[in-house]
Amino acid sequence: MSQSAPQKALSATDIRARKGAEPLVCLTAYTTPVAKIADTHCDLLLVGDSVGMVLHGLHSTLGVTMEMMILHGQATVRGAERALVVVDMPFGSYEEGPAQAFRNAARLMAETGAGAVKLEGGTHVADTIRFLTARGIPVMAHVGLTPQAVNAIGGYRVQGRGADAERIRADARAVAEAGAFSVVLEKVPAALADAITAEIAIPTVGIGASAGCDGQILVIDDMLGLFDAFKPKFVKRYAHLATDASAAIAAYASEVRARTFPAAEHMFDDEGAGS
22 in active site: no
- 164 known ligand binder: no
- Angle between helices 98-112 and 126-134 in degrees, nearest 10: 50
- 2 known ligand binder: no
- 194 known ligand binder: no
| 3-state class (DSSP) for residue 229 | coil
Closest by alpha carbon to 188, among 222, 138, 153, 227? 153
Partnered with residue 118 across adjacent β-strands are 88, 140
Contact criterion met (CB below 8 Å) for 178 and 130: yes
- 120 known ligand binder: yes
Partnered with residue 84 across adjacent β-strands are 44
Query: What is the biggest distance separating any 2 CA atoms in the chain, rounded to whole angstroms?
Result: 79
173 φ, ψ (degrees, to nearest 5): -60, -40
| 3-state class (DSSP) for residue 110 | helix
Catalytic residue among 67, 111, 186, 271: 186
- 222 known ligand binder: no
Cα separation, 85 vs 83, whole angstroms = 6
From the annotation, which residues make up the binding site for 3-methyl-2-oxobutanoate? 49-50, 88, 118
Q: Where is the binding site for Mg(2+), in residues?
A: 49, 88, 120
Q: Which residues are annotated as a binding site?
A: 49-50, 88, 118, 120
Give the residue numbers annotated as catalytic, written as ranges: 186
